[in-house]
Amino acid sequence: MPSTFRIPRATVTGLYGRLLEAYARRTYGQVPDTAYVLWHHRRALRAVLSFESKVARFDSLDPHLKSYALLASAATIGCSWCLDFGYFLAHDEGLDTAKVREVPRWRESDAFTPLERAVMDYAEAMSETPLRVTDEMTAGLLEQLGVEAVVELTEMVAIENLRSRFNAAAGLQSQGFSDVCGLPLAVASDA
């Protein structure tokens, strides 16, 4: 499904542009549309790439829980691009795609453990306006995951909010990354 750019797609030029496109194609199979938007502001692009490379090294939170939280956040915000890309990354990381596809309708699905449900509820609560994060919700996660993992979970959901809101505002839609996964994302019953 082609994206609709609200911010026009930039033409990537020069050596840095060719290197960026080559890296993206080698890593993801295609250039993420967000790169074409950020190309208009090279300092912002460099800052995002630097930040994302540092964030990718976080390792206190179970990667499965992190994936479920990011997908739940993107679904709450309504960023089809982030869901598409997040599903691709989860598939690439070896997560059970049949389970991952259920994230947008996790409340109706019986695929998830109580801890996974608590993590997705927290991610949704952080992604709504106004926030609906409660002391009880946080205390339960602290007890099950520990402080460092909850800090990482909170930071990752906040980062996904930044990504999803940027991409949705820029008009980016599903780019077809998840096509390689073989299963479409489930749709929440209230969607």
**Domain edges within the chain:** 14-55, 63-181
User: What pLDDT sits at residue 1?
Assistant: 45
pLDDT, tens digit, for every residue of 96-123? Answer: 888 998 999 999 999 999 999 999 999 9
pLDDT at 176 over 80: yes
How does the average pLDDT of the chain come out, rounded?
A: 92
Return d(Cα 50, Cα 5) in angstroms, integer.
24
The domain covering 63-181 belongs, at the CATH homologous superfamily level, to AhpD-like (1.20.1290.10)
Return d(Cα 64, Cα 94) in angstroms, integer.
9
pLDDT at 34 over 90: yes
Place of tokens 């993206």: 24
* pTM for this model (two decimals): 0.91
